[in-house]
Amino acid sequence: MRLFDGGRAPNPRRTRIFIAEKGIDVALEPVDMTRLEHRSDAIASRNPLRRLPVLELADGTILTESIAICRYLEALHPKPALFGETPLEIARVEMWNRRIELGLLASVAAAFRHTHPAMADWEVPQIAAWGEANREKAAEFLRFFDDHLADHRYAAGEEFSVADITGVAAIDFMKPAKIELPAQLAHVARWYDEVAARPSMKA
């Protein structure tokens, strides 16, 4: 297997973190998105959407979309379980991963793509007002998440999961999106400090 990787972009990054948590060997093919290498024929031939990450299997089969790739790897390597084990755990991980994807990561990405000057040629049309609106959407979700974390160690309960990986990737992407973490979110801060300290986060 080899992973066509997009560096610090959140979706490639959370796939790398997942792989590191699993402790499995996947060859990385760096793709420089700042040089638009993700729009190259090499990527387009594997993913017509020209987005990363892309996982190529030994037989040439292609998988795209970060969570689809992670689910495939989870099925091959079920321990440690990062999508839950019992039916209830699986549902809760899915619920919180989806909430964080839509409520936080999507809002941070919209703020970045619609306000950062470097994205003007990528996001057409670039709508600054939509980007600004998503800054508050991200902050609103983080306040909701803080309330949840008052009674839970991790995003989906008491066990670390892919939902936490999505959360850290989203929060770290707030810096280039120029979104500040709202003050007084003590539970988010406690959760972030614990999760971000995991060795896998350096992947």
Same domain flag for 158 and 134: yes
CA distances from residue 108 to 16, 20, 114, 130 in whole angstroms, order as listed: 20, 24, 10, 11
Residue 165 to residue 18: CA distance in whole angstroms: 7
Structural domain ending residue among the three candidates 76, 104, 126: 76
Distance CA 32, CA 85 (A): 36
Sign of the CA dihedral running 11, 143, 87, 153: positive
| Distance from C-alpha of 141 to C-alpha of 144, rounded to nearest angstrom | 5
Please check whether residue 186 lies inside any domain of the structure.
yes
167/130 same-domain check: yes
Q: Is the pTM of this model over 0.85?
A: yes
Q: Please state whether 40 falls in left (phi above 0), alpha (psi between -120 and 50) or beta.
A: beta
Helix, strand or coil, per DSSP, at residue 2:
strand
Q: Which residue has the tokens 């839509």?
A: 102
Looking at the fold, whether 185 and 104 belong to one and the same domain comes out as yes
User: 45 and 123: one domain?
Assistant: no
User: Could you tell me if residue 82 is inside a domain?
Assistant: no
Q: What is the pLDDT of residues 52-91, one digit of tens each?
A: 999 999 999 999 999 999 999 999 999 999 999 999 999 9
CB contact at 8 A, 55 and 107: no
DSSP E strand boundaries for the chain:
2-5, 27-30, 54-56, 62-64
User: What's residue 14's pLDDT?
Assistant: 97
Q: What is the pLDDT of residue 121?
A: 87
pLDDT band of residue 198 (cuts 50, 70, 90) is very high
Per-residue pLDDT of 98-154, as tens digits, reads 999 999 999 999 999 999 998 998 899 999 999 999 999 999 999 999 999 999 999
* CATH number reported for the structural domain that contains residue 163 in this entry: 1.20.1050.10
Residue span of the structural domain in which 67 resides: 2-76
Domain co-membership, 11 together with 96: no
Pair (47, 108) in one structural domain: no
